[in-house]
Chains A and B, each alone.
Chain A
Amino acid sequence: MTPGPTTDTALLQARGVTKRFGKFVALHEVTLNVMPRTVHSVIGPNGAGKTTLFHTLTGTLQASAGSVIFDGHDVTGEPDHVRVQRGIARSFQVTSLFANLSVRENLRLAAQGVHRKGAFNCWHRPDGVRAHTEVVDHVLERMELQRLTDVAAGSLSHGQQRRLEVGMALAARPKAIFLDEPTSGMGVDDLEGMKRLIRGLREDHTVVLIEHNMNIVMDISDTITVMQQGRVLVEGRPDAIRNDARVRTAYLGNMITGGGA
């Protein structure tokens, strides 16, 4: 394993995170250090525990043991909506939007979510400062959704929905963005755009990317963590991962060919 950078500068640290579902151990003492302003990818075949790790880091699931430190705070016991206030935002693997609401309203809600007190304003409409126009417009432009502001999210094309999915995370202006297979089900045409976008996110954010698609990960990652059966197999730079004998012999070959994943 390539020696990682020192842990005290990491934005996110997972220390010995274990997740059990009954007797089944989905994650076994996973340790992970995500450095600020990097794209850190987690790859592995289905069942490797990627998504479970993702959920324990974002707070959707609570870890059975171990701890999660984010930006100097121990967030292990905090549910997802509290971690959002700390600067963690996520996208979903299966598109999960407010389907009946417009694109703009989706993003406004995502921008509002970070300001917990304002959300209980029972008296004023979400206009003026409460419309979060600046943030929403910025995300609309970045996601190339400007022309679709008034369309219901449920009526967008799949590619547009995937972009809005990432936009929802961006609208929170988070320190770290967690993306769960952002390219899933995307056509080849949309793929390049999404890759460019993720790479660009690194300028303002830290990105944790869960991916199945090896090609995407190799091009845009600074660090790659390979998981297998709930454990970290290898961690390192893309070229090191590509040439790592264990990764190759274990299963990388059959991942590339698409078999057995």
Chain B
Amino acid sequence: MPRLTTHLQLILALAVTLVLPLVMQSGSLATEVLIYALAVLGCNLLLGYTGLLSFGQGIFFGMGSYTVGILLTRSGLPLPVALVAAVVVGALAALLVGWFAIRQRGTYFVMLTLAFSQLFYFLAYSLPDLTGGDNGLLDVPRPAIGVGGHELLSLASPWQFYALVAASFFLVFWLLLRITNSVFGRTLLAIRDNEARAAAVGYNVRLFKLAVFALSGAVTALAGAFLAIMTGIAPLSSIEYHTSEMILVMTVIGGTGNLFASVLGAAFYVLFSDWLSSLWPRWLMLLGFLLIAVSLFMQKGLWGLGERIWLAVRRKGTPGHAPKSTENGS
């Protein structure tokens, strides 16, 4: 990926975190956009960069929610520590799921992630002492962030919490951009393209897949943790299959070619569904139509659509200069 695109993506991500507070009235909704953007980034690492279609993202999301839920309600640990714990638990859960799932390819890989997704859901359901079962974990506190008794950032208001999530989001986005452009990230693209050849030139394909699974699990768990802290509840629904599905749909709508596409997908889904659900209770049907349209006509998602429009505008602006095609192959 050319450097220009990398810088552009970083600037766009920063712009989103700064523009959201200016144009939105609800701090919670703005935070939700970034929280799901994190989860979608995790999914994009698997789907877009490694070619793995995982229906298990809800597991990691839910594990993140439960981890901070349990730690904050029972231990009184500081919030940053709880967040780090959620990230570690997410990575470990992903290692476990990945360890089994990557033994298979294609349909069976997908089926394994689906099976694990159900398994973890019923595990959470049947451990009410730990997870609150059907009710979920209630009254998750939102303690202020401080050092040695000095309060640095109160998280009482929605916009204060937004600041924490936005900073974390930007940090993660930058890290992931760095990783996807690294030797490791470029090898993932090779594995996505041709697994047999990747193994034949010396790469341990399983180890790479396992590593990217852990990374994806960590990022997704962070998203789940933030959602639990924001809503004050770690519900059973966060580990449900529906969460996996929603994250996947956002990923596909945004596009899998690059990381910023994930932010677009999450923003679009969250804002669109918020708007539509207030207009029409059957709004999910419209989402169905949209997904059909994306699958049939714009497989590169919203990012691809934006790219096409941009090229068309440029072509009109400078007649006679055909724009270079940017075949990044996604």
- Secondary structure of the B contact surface, majority rule: helix
Report yes or no: A112 in contact with B183, Cβ–Cβ below 8 A: yes
Do A168 and B201 contact each other (CB < 8 Å), given the known contacts A100-B329, A101-B190, A120-B211? yes
- Complex alpha-carbon distance, A58 and B200, angstroms: 8
Report yes or no: B329 in contact with A80, Cβ–Cβ below 8 A: no
A122 to chain B, nearest CB (A): 4
Q: Does B202 contact A (CB under 8 A)?
A: yes
Report yes or no: B183 in contact with A126, Cβ–Cβ below 8 A: yes
- Complex alpha-carbon distance, A196 and B178, angstroms: 43
Q: Does B327 contact A (CB under 8 A)?
A: yes
Q: Does B13 contact A (CB under 8 A)?
A: no
- Complex alpha-carbon distance, A164 and B184, angstroms: 23
Do A116 and B202 contact each other (CB < 8 Å), given the known contacts A96-B196, A97-B197, A100-B193? yes
Report yes or no: A116 in contact with B204, Cβ–Cβ below 8 A: yes
Report yes or no: B202 in contact with A113, Cβ–Cβ below 8 A: yes
Report yes or no: A124 in contact with B182, Cβ–Cβ below 8 A: yes
What size tier do the contact residues of chain A reach?
A: 35 or more
Report yes or no: A99 in contact with B184, Cβ–Cβ below 8 A: no
B304 to chain A, nearest CB (A): 15
- Complex alpha-carbon distance, A81 and B199, angstroms: 5
B63 to chain A, nearest CB (A): 23
Do A172 and B190 contact each other (CB < 8 Å), given the known contacts A119-B183, A121-B184, A125-B182? no
Given B190, B202, B205, which contacts A85 in the complex, CB threshold below 8 Å?
B202
Residues of A within 8 A of B199 (CB): 60, 79-81
Report yes or no: B202 in contact with A122, Cβ–Cβ below 8 A: no
Residues of A within 8 A of B190 (CB): 98, 101, 109
Residues of B within 8 A of A97 (CB): 194, 197
- Complex alpha-carbon distance, A101 and B188, angstroms: 12
Residues of B within 8 A of A32 (CB): none
> Which of A85, A121, A130 has the most CB atoms of chain B within a 10 A radius of its CB?
A121
Q: Does B268 contact A (CB under 8 A)?
A: no
Q: Does A92 contact B (CB under 8 A)?
A: yes
- Complex alpha-carbon distance, A118 and B203, angstroms: 11
Q: Which residue of B lies closest to A154 (CB)?
A: B329
- Complex alpha-carbon distance, A121 and B180, angstroms: 11
B229 to chain A, nearest CB (A): 28
- Complex alpha-carbon distance, A101 and B193, angstroms: 8
Q: Does B142 contact A (CB under 8 A)?
A: no
Given B182, B197, B202, which contacts A172 in the complex, CB threshold below 8 Å?
B202
Report yes or no: B196 in contact with A172, Cβ–Cβ below 8 A: no
Q: Does A110 contact B (CB under 8 A)?
A: yes
- Complex alpha-carbon distance, A50 and B202, angstroms: 22
Q: Does A234 contact B (CB under 8 A)?
A: no
- Complex alpha-carbon distance, A112 and B178, angstroms: 19
A25 to chain B, nearest CB (A): 25
- Complex alpha-carbon distance, A119 and B329, angstroms: 22
B284 to chain A, nearest CB (A): 34
Report yes or no: B184 in contact with A109, Cβ–Cβ below 8 A: no
- Complex alpha-carbon distance, A60 and B198, angstroms: 12
Q: Does B28 contact A (CB under 8 A)?
A: no
Beyond the given pairs A100-B193, A112-B183, 9 more chain A to chain B contacts, judged by CB atoms under 8 angstroms and listed by A's residue number, are A89-B201, A96-B197, A99-B329, A109-B198, A121-B184, A122-B178, A125-B181, A125-B182, A130-B183
Q: Which residues of B contact A (CB under 8 A)?
A: 178-179, 181-187, 189-190, 193-194, 196-205, 211, 327-330
